Amino acid sequence: MPPVLFDPDHRLWLLRGPTTAYAIRLADDDTVRHVHWGATLTLTEAVKVAERISPAASSFEAVAAVDELAVEGGARFGPPSLLVRFADGTRGVQWRYAGHDVDGGHLRIRLHDRHYPLRLTLHYRVCADSDVIERWTTVENHDDRTPITVLRCDSAAWAAPHRTDYRVSHLVGGWNSEFQLRRTDVAVAETVFTSRRGVTSHHANPWLAVDDGTAGEEHGEVWSTALAWSGSWRITLHRDPVGRTTWTGGFGHEGLTWSLAPGEALDTPVFAGLYTAGGFGAASRAWHGYVRRHVLSHPNETRPVLYNSWEATGFDVDEVGQIALAARAASLGVELFVMDDGWFGARTGDHVGLGDWVPNPVRFPNGLRPLAAEVRRLGMRFGLWVEPEMVNPDSDLYRAHPDWVLHMTNRDRTELRNQLVLNLGRPDTAEWTHAWLDRLVAAHDIDFLKWDANRPFTEAGWPGHGDPDRLWIEHTRAVYRIMDRLRADHPGLRIEACAGGGGRADLGILARTDQVWTSDNTDPVDRIDIQHGFSQLYPAQVMGAWVTDSPNAATARETPLRFRFHVAMAGVLGIGGDLAAWTDDELKEAVELIAAYKRIRPVVQHGTAYRLRGDGTLTAVQYAHGDEHVVLAWCPTRPYGHATAPLRLTAVRPEVVYRDTDTGATYAGAVLLGSGLPLDLPSGDHASTLVHLRPVG
């Protein structure tokens, strides 16, 4: 059956995924209205749903149905998705249906304003192997003389069906505390989730999930959405007094104004949505599958174990020291060596040199080629840290081009971390940025870039530009274009998205990178919660996780090396400690643990994830790949006398007997499901274990 069906008599469209359906219709006034988002339906059943009366219907709510993209105009009083102002001062829109077309799973519905030269295309796209619905909008000015002012242009609006109550799950945080999962009742109000920082931000992530308050990890209906955008964004969740709950989202934030020039079209980023009846765990697994199949460029690759020099050396890097670190890293089994900040220009601290992307001639008298060659001789790939969007005022670049940064006339230029933001919306700045990156990668055959962005936007002006707020869009699009060009011209290049830690993690950046640096906080106790929140949307194969020194640089907490490794093994394993200070016993243990990770890596990075919770403070994650299973369990603290009970697994087959590849112990699948897996945890705090199960025979 085709993924998109149309009933011309009722002017209704039905989009079908493997287990879900989404239905919309044209109202009498040619507005596109929401009908259904949930369990699978036939076209006949969807027509009957469309006849239902909204609980908001009354003489005070002339528009009682839910718009697919709400506009200003008529008796609409909720948050609009599209706000425009025409040259004569008129605001609001009245639509006329102008047709639709279907290309496989891609539905386009075309609407024209009845009087003004504004045209809108609503895009819907479904794939045969996913229940995720991709939605975005194209808005066009068909006047050849007069611009149209755009005050708001969201990608999509979503609606949950009527329920007695509603709860929202979302991610909050800050630097060193990203991806903290919060669940709270949806207020009868407008609740805004946003970043005004120019990047996705540490403080919120453009993902949210709505349920009726009863869903759990493995049961209950969940409606969730994720915006594929790496700049400023806003999602407005609205619950009205009669119980209807909707949300709308897209790029930009309140207060911005864009001018749609004569003949210009503006495409919004994808705002994707997913329904499941299997709880938050099923929602996460469906998102993980979507990311792997439809977002990542190299989903079948296995990410290497990397070493990063930052915590060992800080800014004090040179050829001799980096080669010594590389030798130690290689002896542990590391596969990718990444030199962090301090290798370029006059960079001796965060106050100088950023923007001068040439190797420091004193620290690297022969350039970077000798280091790169030695890293490869040791059997590793070679990577570099870069921060292409930023500049120190104390740099040759800024002295030559002070107009290239974000700034406003007659306003101070606020420095954060002693740096300013380059305006990559400017074609000359963006082209220069691409050129030096292209030269750097080509000259050294660089395998990996850690692309950082360590500060938000301030004084985000563009003096002399006729539409200065466009920089909030064009900067992010320029980052995308530069990354896309680099990857096209250098097919072997892999990129990690970093923004002072997890400040730029979203589906937009993942379409042109391979992994995300989850947080600058590598404390394993804190990382358990950070990684739990991250896993709500993103799969393990994009989650960078390092083992660093004890006491931890951020928290001063002391933890065993084994515990640090077991937490980091839940993602893409990296090492970030000062290896010169590790004892012989620690180095020996690290060799064994890295080898263990390589054995389980295919299951962790490519398997299906199940979040588990045991008794007390025990948490765990189980990865299933075919009939192979990996369990990582962590118990940061426990009261005296409380032994950990067996951990009940999921996704194992009850009729199969499984063997622990380390101990040789065997377990019936039915026992693992019913009674649980006995855990051999060390005594005391910061206990952890790794169990690798394979079928017997």
Structure confidence by residue, pLDDT tens digits, 532-554:
999 999 999 999 999 999 999 99
Share above pLDDT 70 across residues of the chain, in percent, rounded to a whole number = 98
- Whether residue 212 is annotated as binding a ligand: the answer is no
Nearest to 76 by CA among 94, 90, 102: 94
Which pLDDT score, from 0 to 100, does residue 52 have?
63
Instruction: Please report which confidence band the pLDDT of residue 1 belongs to, taking 50, 70 and 90 as the band edges.
Output: confident
Which pLDDT score, from 0 to 100, does residue 57 have?
62
DSSP character at residue 579: G
The percent of the chain in helix, strand and coil, each rounded to the nearest 5, is 20, 30, 45
Number of H helices and E strands in the chain, helices first, is: 13, 37
d(CA 567, CA 544): 11
Instruction: Please report which confidence band the pLDDT of residue 244 belongs to, taking 50, 70 and 90 as the band edges.
Output: confident
**Mean of per-residue pLDDT scores for the chain:** 96
Q: In the structure encoding, which two tokens stand for residue 178, read together?
A: 């990203």
Residues 6+ away with beta carbon under 8 Å from 556:
none
Q: Looking at 52-61, 127-136, 367-376, 517-526, which range is the least confident one? A: 52-61
d(CA 458, CA 199): 12
Across residues 51-80, what is the average pLDDT?
76
- Whether residue 341 is annotated as binding a ligand: the answer is yes
Q: In the structure encoding, which two tokens stand for residue 298, read together?
A: 């190299």
Instruction: Please report which confidence band the pLDDT of residue 70 belongs to, taking 50, 70 and 90 as the band edges.
Output: very high
- Whether residue 520 is annotated as binding a ligand: the answer is yes
The DSSP element (H or E) to which 110 belongs, if any, is strand 106-113
Across residues 620-632, what is the average pLDDT?
97
Q: Is-contact 337 383, C-beta < 8 A? A: yes
Residues 6+ away with beta carbon under 8 Å from 184:
167, 168
Which pLDDT score, from 0 to 100, does residue 55 have?
60
Structure confidence by residue, pLDDT tens digits, 538-595:
999 999 999 999 999 999 999 999 999 999 999 999 999 999 999 999 999 999 999 9
- Whether residue 175 is annotated as binding a ligand: the answer is yes
- Give the residues across from 258 on adjacent strands: 150
Which pLDDT score, from 0 to 100, does residue 75 have?
80
Structure confidence by residue, pLDDT tens digits, 485-536:
999 999 999 999 999 999 999 999 999 999 999 999 999 999 999 999 999 9
Catalytic center residues? 452, 520
Nearest to 579 by CA among 346, 253, 266, 308: 308
d(CA 685, CA 195): 37
d(CA 348, CA 338): 18
Which pLDDT score, from 0 to 100, does residue 51 have?
65
Which pLDDT score, from 0 to 100, does residue 640 have?
77
pTM tops 0.75 = yes
Across residues 392-416, what is the average pLDDT?
98
**Is residue 63 scored above 60 in pLDDT?**
no
- Whether residue 498 is annotated as binding a ligand: the answer is yes
Which pLDDT score, from 0 to 100, does residue 61 have?
64
**Is residue 617 scored above 90 in pLDDT?**
no
Nearest to 582 by CA among 570, 565, 599, 600: 565
Structure confidence by residue, pLDDT tens digits, 463-491:
999 999 999 999 999 999 999 999 999 99
Nearest to 256 by CA among 504, 508, 477, 471: 471
Structure confidence by residue, pLDDT tens digits, 176-223:
999 999 999 999 999 999 999 999 999 999 999 999 999 999 999 999
For every residue of 189-227, DSSP letters joined together read: SEEEEEE-SSSS-SSEEEEEEEE-S---SSSB-EEEEEE
Which pLDDT score, from 0 to 100, does residue 520 have?
98
> Integer distance in angstroms from the first to the last C-alpha of the chain?
41
Could you check whether the bond before residue 365 is cis, i.e. omega within 30 degrees of 0?
no
Q: Is-contact 605 632, C-beta < 8 A? A: no
Structure confidence by residue, pLDDT tens digits, 9-33:
999 999 999 999 999 999 999 999 9
Which pLDDT score, from 0 to 100, does residue 366 have?
95
d(CA 22, CA 273): 10
Structure confidence by residue, pLDDT tens digits, 111-147:
999 999 999 999 999 999 999 999 999 999 999 999 9
Which pLDDT score, from 0 to 100, does residue 73 have?
84
The three-state (H, E, C) secondary structure of 350-392, written as one string? CCCCCCCCCECCCCCCCCCHHHHHHHHHCCCEEEEEECCCEEC
- Whether residue 87 is annotated as binding a ligand: the answer is no
- Using left for φ > 0, alpha for ψ between -120 and 50, and beta otherwise, residue 137 falls in beta
Domains along the sequence of the chain with CATH:
68-295 (2.70.98.60), 306-607 (3.20.20.70), 611-695 (2.60.40.1180)
- How far is residue 473 CA from its own chain's centroid? 18
Q: Is-contact 441 449, C-beta < 8 A? A: yes
Which pLDDT score, from 0 to 100, does residue 616 have?
79
- Whether residue 340 is annotated as binding a ligand: the answer is yes
For every residue of 409-475, DSSP letters joined together read: TTS----BTTBEEB-TTSHHHHHHHHHHHHHHHHHHT--EEEE-------S---TT-SSGGGHHHHH
Q: Is-contact 21 14, C-beta < 8 A? A: yes
- Whether residue 454 is annotated as binding a ligand: the answer is yes
Structure confidence by residue, pLDDT tens digits, 167-184:
999 999 999 999 999 999
- Whether residue 489 is annotated as binding a ligand: the answer is no
Share above pLDDT 90 across residues of the chain, in percent, rounded to a whole number = 93
Which pLDDT score, from 0 to 100, does residue 243 have?
76
Q: In the structure encoding, which two tokens stand for residue 1, read together?
A: 């059956």
Question: Quick one: 553 exposed, middle or buried, by C-beta within 10 A (0-12, 13-18, 19+)?
Answer: middle
d(CA 367, CA 452): 22
Q: Looking at 99-113, 415-429, 536-550, 606-620, which range is the least confident one? A: 606-620
